[in-house]
Amino acid sequence: MSRLLRGENLLVLVLMTIVGVYVGDTLAGGFSVGNLAFVLPVGVIALGLGASVLVGQMRSPTQCPSTDGATPPAEPPPSRQGISPAVGMSVLLVALVLALDVAPFDVATWLFLLAGLWWLGERRTWFLVIYPLVTGFGIALVFRLLLPYPMDTLI
């Protein structure tokens, strides 16, 4: 439980709580097309990403500073030196929301997943291409089945 309440994990929990309350309040106001087409997908993506970050943090081994100095601490990826992962992912989420006005939902989701993986340190080219593509289009298909609103997609 103490690992869950560390600084960056606590920030993710607070953001997930805010998103959950906002989505719940919005849907309590009615199931209008705007709520179902915009607020619900972004809220579900944000909550899913937050949950995956927390699970990843909980499953990673505890990093204790070495007293003998034999093992240096791991360097963050060059993409995010000095910036916490939560801040970077929050910026990318804002970019996703803004991109939904100009790009199809599946393309915006694919770009968000690609940028998020790269930001968090993934550098395998095949993984950066295949995983966001399959996941992004899968998310778009699920939302197309769930929402009674024609979403702008390429699929």
Domain layout of the chain by residue ranges: 7-61+83-146
The residue type found at 9 is N
Vertex 92 angle, CA 144 and 100, to 5°: 35
Q: How far apart are CA 155 and CA 151, in angstroms?
A: 10
pLDDT digits (tens, 9 = 90+) for 70-118: 555 566 555 556 777 878 888 898 898 898 889 898 899 999 999 998 8
pLDDT digits (tens, 9 = 90+) for 3-29: 666 677 788 888 889 988 988 888 888
The token pair that represents 31 in the structure block: 């199931």
